[in-house]
Each structure stands twice: as structure tokens, then as C-alpha cells.
Chain A
């Protein structure tokens, strides 16, 4: 058939088809059928995933007409993420424009299967502006907080539980529009109450003698004031590859009751990011020192629940959360991060961490060593999702964290 020897002909006219209906080759069907049967559960899972995204995709990811957030009250469901039995659900109320046009009120509450109850009220005024105000009130009730004892050499087998109820209210003025370069001055009130818990055995008092756990059944109240600041010089907020970030928080607390102690609390943190010949390969270093000290050396011992502890952003890799607590805590971590996907990096980590009653008691040989790897997905300048698997003397521990910014 020579080029151009036929004209554009329409398929609407009557005529033949070029081939019979398409069907899989019989021998191929016979070959594939057993595997199709064997992988049926996996395909079912795949279909479920597809249907799930069909449902949430249009609601969460579809582009919407850009409109300024309307003022007024909004009610929505609220999910407080945690472990499987510690993930709470409840309502969330937000009020854009209350009380001024550039302010927002948020109120949320949640309850978990293990009867953890949380309520949080936040009022932000002037977010993103050079000067702003933040007011918060929190209530947290958890009947099964973990306690392993005080000190760096506590035993894993001494794991016990207690109920901890905490109420905080604070107000802070921030200077600086960006959370990466900001000074915050504020003060507040806190009430903390430990009691016998439930949804976990053994209980704290079944494992530890009351004398070894100061304030084990004694609530305290305090007012505090303090200052915190962030100063960062990094090339990019979400996935920094070059630069440094310093963060500090100092608080002075005064007990309100006759037996309530006065104390100073601090948390100092330094980070550095060094590219390894390219922005996509980074060595990230993090050093944290936090602590609490009574205002006078002669004062009463500090309640066990205000001590520096390994949880949240200071959780020790390779150990369970809340595993160690004492007056001072130090954590040094080195990560090698390398980009594997858009905004996602793989990471290899090495960490040494320790708690001690005083700074002079820190010893490298006594510190806990952990190494491992994981994934990091940068979400915003102030939050990332991390999935870590780290090995320590207490075995392999996985951790998923949402919202941390390292």
C-alpha cells in the first residue's frame, strides 16, 4: 500500500471490523488463573484502597475555587492522632474572625477508647503579623501514663501506670511574623494531678515505694512566666539542607500551694544542616538539652511529673515513649537524609541520649545508643511526618510521628 493511496474514510459507514473482539489468549488465561485465585485477597485490598481514595480524594485533594476563609462558626469532626488505642475522636469548633478580623478561635475535644480526654481552646490574633497574641487553655486526662522510675538506669521490667490530669492556661505575645524567627514572651497557670490509674497494669504504687517517687499522689499548681525564641537561617523551611536553627525556652514557675515547689525549666535546642555535595543529601544534627531545677537548693524535691522526660520531641530513639526521666536530659542525634521521592527522604540515624540528676553527671559511656533508619515526609515549614525504626539495647522500636519539625 503506497502512501496516500487511500483517503480519510469514516468508520460510520457499513463495513467490516479489522479484527474479532479482543480476548485474553486462552493459554495465558490458564497460566494466570491460579495466580489470580491466590492473589485474590491482595486484589481485594487494592480495590479497597482505590474505593477509599475515591471517597476521600474529592473531599481532601480536589482543587477548590480560591476564596478567603469565610468568617463565622464552623463545626467539624476532630481526630487527635496517637497509637491505635490512644487515637481520640470528638468535635472541633472554629470561629474565623473572632473577635477581630485577623483572629481565629479553635475549640476541640476528644476521647479515646482508653478514656483519655482532651480539650483544647486556642485563640490566635495576628498570626503571621510582626506582633501577635496567642492564648491557650488545655485539659488532658490520661489514666494510663507510663512510669519506669527516675534515672538513667531504670529497668524496662519496672513499667507501671498512673493517672495524670493536667490543666494549663497561658498567654503569649509573639514578636516576629515567621515562626522560624520569633520571640515569644508569656506566662500562665498549670495544675497537675497524679493518681492511681486504670487501663494499664501494674500500677505505679504496686511497683515503686512512695518515698522513691516524689509527689506520687500529690497535685501541684503553679503560675509561670517565661520567654521562648526561634532563630533559624536555613535555605528552606520544609526540607532544609543548609543552615542552622536555634530554639530556646526558659520558664520560671512559682508554686501556689504551701507544699508546691518553685522551679525553673528550660529546653535548649540547636540544629545544623550540612549538604553532602548536593541539596538532596543532607547531614542533619540535633542537640537538645532540657531540664528543671528547684529555685533554691534547699527546697523540697521536685514532683516526678515535672522532670525532663523522654517523650514527644525528646523521645529517645530505640526506646518506648516516657522511658526515662530525671532533672536533666540530653539528646544528640545525627541523621543522614537523602531524597528518594518528591518531599520524601530516607534517613539513617545515630543517637546518643541520657537523663541525669545534674549536668556534671552526664557521661558519654552512660548514654543510650541507638541507630536505625526511616522515612521523612516534609509537609510544611513547621511539620513533617516521620517513620522510624531504631535499635537500642532494648531491641527494635518503631515510631510514627506527625507534626514534629525536625
Chain B
């Protein structure tokens, strides 16, 4: 090997190896238990400084620069090649407990997939149903975002942001927002209290300080008219809008998906490696929430005692879902390709424009003004794309996808119908169309991800048998089927292997290793090449306990 090459290699690798050796073994002393169902990440801290990634810089970074750098990421290509030789080079989500679940945290709370949310509770969303009481006092013009609107204080002194539906499309964005936030909350995410509202011009009084411009901001009745003229109007002359109540706590700003929040010592998993953010891809794919940039999330500081508190993370502004965008029906490509999608640009360029994109084949125009462009026929769950690529979605593995699909599949037809009914669409076609398409999409999602990873879950030991659920059977995608199990039992340091077939979701443990102290199971769906589920059991006295589950 030429000496110059060795010299070059030493110059480049030497410092990085030295840095690795010098790096401290642990950054922060921590009490870690991977069997926990609660990731205690809301410990009392001082309020971090307000900070959020800049809007336009982040759009350019994630929309244009990062995709190019991924194309030329040579280590990535090497790792991809290594996967062809059986190496497991993909990084799995970090905040996953021993049972392959994302524990409750300040980002996420396990809800519908672990304990069915009753329909009445699901309708309520994050709290009880209440609307901003009239009359409203307009306090500020709306800053940022593409929809027209303003900030108000209602008759009860509560602060809200009011966002108008686009002219000609009453309930388009407000309806999408209501249905999406209801489903996302039931799924486990923190969402704000949003409600679709109707109001008349006479319900609004402009704050006298705004009228005079005493405190710098000036807003006149003419300005209000110029906002209202962009808004959608119902048949009775009232305006159609979405009202979002101010979130509890001090607003810190949007989190970055590419870095941790400065000053928050609880925030110690890279956001792109969080299970609930990676798995969110599947939920967004379901509801076609194509706008998932960093600024659709919000962090607040909730003070608990003595100026100490914790950061709570919200997913908000989900009005750009289903067939809606902030300024009318969504572009027909939204949800099918990124705004600047180099892969599709390349395909179109090379084929002289003769390639047929899926969104051209999809019949998205529903003809229902309050739904916009939404379909389920051409939809493929894995091909869902956001306006700007999301760093966590890029890191998603089959395990994360399965986790997201498990949540989507946990929604029953009745729950979906309840979520859609919560939007109170005037047009009965809208309710029927949305429910039908959400059900079709849900089933497509379940079929796709459950055919990549064996959907065997919720393992427990009862009556000396390992019992589990086959989610594909539970939701009626498959009829009851048999399973192929490879067992490795450890008895006093000696491992013994065994294979068996079972025709139901139950394994008698005594037959597998009566004297063993530990047992590892690899369970496949018989006759299928779907990735198996791995289960570890440990004996405590006479009883077996499930100590670890991994899917795929």
C-alpha cells in the first residue's frame, strides 16, 4: 500500500480515534431501567432559554441541503452495503423499553394501543369540549403561517389563536385539524385544545390599544376586514375557522429535530432517534399530514414549584392533513413527494417527463369543498412523503414502522367515525368520505407493516403459558394461523435448542424448559418470510416473566 495513502489515513483517523478514547464514558449520571413504562424525563429543572430553529434556514437545511448531503454520504453507502452481508448497521430507536415500546414521557403517553380509549373520551381530545366564549376581543394580528387569522381573548379571559378557513372552503382546514388532533391525541401525542368555530363580524371587538397603536402594534377595522375577506363563509354568513387555545406554560419555541433543546437536561435522546417521532411517520401517512417541519411542534415550560419545572412537547398545527393546506386544498403532489424531491426530479428529467407519478394517477379531487384532495386507492403507506423531509422519519426502521402501524391499527371503525364526527362537518358527504378513506388507509398500513414484521405483541405469562396477540388476526386482516417457534433455553450455563409449531397464540412453558432459568424465543408466522419477534423470559422462583421483546 503506498506510503502516502497510509499517511493520509493516519492523519484523518488518528485524531478521531484519540477523541473517542478521551471521551467520558457517561455524560451524566443516570438511573436507567429499561423495563420502565415511564421515561422520567420531566424532572424539575430551571427554565431553559427560549430558542427555536429559524424557519427559513431550517427549510433550506432539511429541504435542500440535507437531501443532497445524504446522496453523497459515503459512510451511509458503506453501511448500506454492509447490510447486504447481514450486518445490522441501522440504528434502532433509543428510548425503547424492554418490551419494544416507547414509555410515557413528556413527548408521548401510551393510550389507544395499550388501553382502548372509550369513544366518548376520544371525542373530548386533550380536555373537555369547550369553545371560545363570545364576544371576543382581538388582541394581536396573527404572525407567521400562511393562513389568515388573529389572536383573541374570549369572554372568559382565555387566549386563543383563530385561523380562518380559506375562502370557498369552509371547514377544510379546521375540520382536518379537529379530526387529526383527536386521532393524534388518542394515539398518545400531546396536542393543543383546538376546536372548529363559527363567528360573525359582530362577535369581535378590536382591543382599544390595538386601534390606537399605543403599544406599537396597530390594527384597524380595515385590517380586520382584509383578514376576514380571505376567510371562508358558511351559508348562514358566519365565518368558518379553527380556534386553538393557548397552551399551558411558557412557550419556549419549536424543538429542532436535528439537535437537543439547549438548557433542557432532561432532553437527552437525539430527536431523530426517538421512537415516537420515528413512528409518527406512519400516523402522518395515515392522516396525510404532509407538513411536519420542526415548526409544527412546540415546547412549553410548565412550572411546578419554586420556578422549577419541565419541558412539555406538543405536536400542533395539524390542519395541513387529509386534503387540506393552510391556503386551500393541498397541492396534489403533497403527501406523495417532497417539495423538492431530487429522486422524482431525476426520474422526470431522465424520462423527458413521461414518467407517471402516483399522484397523477390518484383521483384526489373529491369534489367536497371541506375535504379537498384526499384518496386511499393509489395510496401506499411506505411512499408517503412530507413537504420537507423529516430527520426522524429518515431514520425509521421496520421496528419503528411496526410500532406506528400498531397504533394506527388499534383504532376501530367506531373510534374513527367518532373522531371525524367531532369536526361537525356540515356536508354529510365529508364525514362519510373521510371515515371510509381513513378505514381503507388504516387497513393498508396494517397490511404493509404487519407483512414486514410479525405482528405478535402484548406477551404475558398466564397459567404457565406464554400468551400473546397476533394483531393481524385481532383486527381481522388474517384468519387464525400457526407459528413457528425456535427456543433456546439456558440451564446452568448450558444452552439447549428446540423448535416447535403452535396453532394458536399460546405456548406452554413447562414443555419448553422445565429446569431452565432463562429462555429466548424466536417466533415466526408459519410459512411466512416476515421478520420474527424475539422474546426473552426469565424464571423467578417457579414463575416465568417476560423480560424482553423485540420485533423484527
What residues of chain A have their CB less than 8 Å away from a CB belonging to chain B?
Answer: 1-23, 25-26, 28-35, 37-39, 42-43, 46, 49-51, 53-54, 56-58, 61-63, 65-68, 278, 280-281, 336, 338-342, 346
Is residue B26 contacting chain A, with contact meaning CB distance below 8 A?
Answer: yes
Q: How far is the CB of B257 from chain A (nearest CB, A)?
A: 13
The answer to whether A21 and B33 have CB atoms under 8 Å apart is no
What residue of chain A has the Cβ atom nearest to residue B89's Cβ? Answer: A28
Question: Which size bracket describes the interface of B in this complex?
Answer: 35 or more
The answer to whether A19 and B269 have CB atoms under 8 Å apart is yes
What residue of chain B has the Cβ atom nearest to residue A50's Cβ? Answer: B57
The answer to whether A58 and B56 have CB atoms under 8 Å apart is yes
The answer to whether B41 and A11 have CB atoms under 8 Å apart is yes
Report A-chain residues with C-beta under 8 Å of the C-beta of B331. Answer: 342
- Would you list 14 pairs from A and B whose C-beta atoms are within 8 A, ordered by A residue? A1-B546, A7-B115, A8-B109, A12-B40, A15-B31, A17-B33, A21-B268, A29-B19, A35-B75, A43-B69, A53-B59, A281-B352, A281-B353, A342-B339
Expressed in whole angstroms, the Cα–Cα distance for A26 and B105 within the complex equals 27
The winner among B104, B109, B304 for most chain A CB atoms within 10 A is B104
Q: How far is the CB of B218 from chain A (nearest CB, A)?
A: 10
What residue of chain A has the Cβ atom nearest to residue B265's Cβ? Answer: A21
Is residue B335 contacting chain A, with contact meaning CB distance below 8 A?
Answer: no
What residue of chain A has the Cβ atom nearest to residue B341's Cβ? Answer: A341
Question: Which of B141-149, B290-298, B486-494 sits within the interface?
Answer: B141-149
Q: How far is the CB of A371 from chain B (nearest CB, A)?
A: 15
Is residue B551 contacting chain A, with contact meaning CB distance below 8 A?
Answer: no
Report A-chain residues with C-beta under 8 Å of the C-beta of B345. Answer: 340-341
What residue of chain B has the Cβ atom nearest to residue A58's Cβ? Answer: B56
The answer to whether A11 and B106 have CB atoms under 8 Å apart is yes
The answer to whether B32 and A17 have CB atoms under 8 Å apart is yes
The answer to whether A23 and B104 have CB atoms under 8 Å apart is no
Question: Which of B95-103, B163-171, B176-184 sits within the interface?
Answer: B95-103
Contact status of A9 and B38, CB under 8 A, knowing A18-B103, A22-B94, A46-B65: yes
Report B-chain residues with C-beta under 8 Å of the C-beta of A56. Answer: 56
The answer to whether A11 and B39 have CB atoms under 8 Å apart is yes
Report B-chain residues with C-beta under 8 Å of the C-beta of A65. Answer: 141, 223, 226-227
CB < 8 Å: which of A19, A61, A346 contacts B349?
A: A346
Expressed in whole angstroms, the Cα–Cα distance for A68 and B220 within the complex equals 13
Is residue B20 contacting chain A, with contact meaning CB distance below 8 A?
Answer: yes
The answer to whether B57 and A53 have CB atoms under 8 Å apart is yes
Contact status of A37 and B12, CB under 8 A, knowing A22-B269, A54-B54, A65-B223: yes
CB < 8 Å: which of B57, B97, B353 contacts A340?
A: B353
The answer to whether B459 and A1 have CB atoms under 8 Å apart is yes
Report A-chain residues with C-beta under 8 Å of the C-beta of B32. Answer: 16-20
Expressed in whole angstroms, the Cα–Cα distance for A21 and B28 within the complex equals 8
The answer to whether A49 and B65 have CB atoms under 8 Å apart is yes
Q: How far is the CB of B137 from chain A (nearest CB, A)?
A: 18
Report B-chain residues with C-beta under 8 Å of the C-beta of A3. Answer: 113-115, 458, 469
Expressed in whole angstroms, the Cα–Cα distance for A50 and B55 within the complex equals 10
Contact status of A16 and B36, CB under 8 A, knowing A37-B12, A342-B339: yes
The answer to whether B26 and A9 have CB atoms under 8 Å apart is no
**Which 10 A/B pairs are nearest by Cβ-Cβ distance?**
A57-B56, A338-B353, A33-B16, A34-B12, A16-B33, A4-B115, A54-B57, A15-B40, A21-B268, A50-B57
Q: How far is the CB of A57 from chain B (nearest CB, A)?
A: 3
Report A-chain residues with C-beta under 8 Å of the C-beta of B110. Answer: 6, 8
The answer to whether A67 and B105 have CB atoms under 8 Å apart is no
Expressed in whole angstroms, the Cα–Cα distance for A189 and B476 within the complex equals 84
Give 8 A-B pairs besides A5-B460, A8-B109 with Cβ atoms closer than 8 angstroms: A1-B546, A12-B310, A17-B40, A32-B75, A35-B74, A67-B222, A278-B353, A340-B345
What residue of chain A has the Cβ atom nearest to residue B26's Cβ? Answer: A20
The answer to whether A21 and B27 have CB atoms under 8 Å apart is yes
Report B-chain residues with C-beta under 8 Å of the C-beta of A43. Answer: 69
Within 8 A of A (CB), among B408-463: 458-460
The answer to whether A17 and B60 have CB atoms under 8 Å apart is no
What residue of chain B has the Cβ atom nearest to residue A43's Cβ? Answer: B69
Q: How far is the CB of B239 from chain A (nearest CB, A)?
A: 16
What residue of chain A has the Cβ atom nearest to residue B457's Cβ? Answer: A3
Contact status of A67 and B226, CB under 8 A, knowing A18-B97, A37-B12: yes
Q: How far is the CB of A328 from chain B (nearest CB, A)?
A: 35
The answer to whether A22 and B273 have CB atoms under 8 Å apart is yes
Contact status of A29 and B16, CB under 8 A, knowing A2-B460, A13-B40: yes
Report B-chain residues with C-beta under 8 Å of the C-beta of A14. Answer: 40, 43
Report B-chain residues with C-beta under 8 Å of the C-beta of A38. Answer: 12
The answer to whether A8 and B40 have CB atoms under 8 Å apart is no
The answer to whether B30 and A21 have CB atoms under 8 Å apart is yes
CB < 8 Å: which of B17, B59, B65, B111 contacts A30?
A: B17
Q: How far is the CB of A63 from chain B (nearest CB, A)?
A: 5
Within 8 A of A (CB), among B124-171: 141, 144-146, 148
Q: How far is the CB of B534 from chain A (nearest CB, A)?
A: 15
The answer to whether B99 and A10 have CB atoms under 8 Å apart is no
Is residue B1 contacting chain A, with contact meaning CB distance below 8 A?
Answer: no
Q: How far is the CB of B38 from chain A (nearest CB, A)?
A: 4
Is residue B78 contacting chain A, with contact meaning CB distance below 8 A?
Answer: yes
What residue of chain B has the Cβ atom nearest to residue A337's Cβ? Answer: B353
What residue of chain A has the Cβ atom nearest to residue B60's Cβ? Answer: A53
- How does the 8 Å CB contact mask read for B269-297 relative to A, with 1 for contact and 0 for none? 11001000000000000000000000000
Q: How far is the CB of A338 from chain B (nearest CB, A)?
A: 3
The answer to whether A2 and B458 have CB atoms under 8 Å apart is yes
Contact status of A11 and B17, CB under 8 A, knowing A336-B352, A339-B348, A340-B345: no
Expressed in whole angstroms, the Cα–Cα distance for A146 and B267 within the complex equals 64
The answer to whether B60 and A6 have CB atoms under 8 Å apart is no
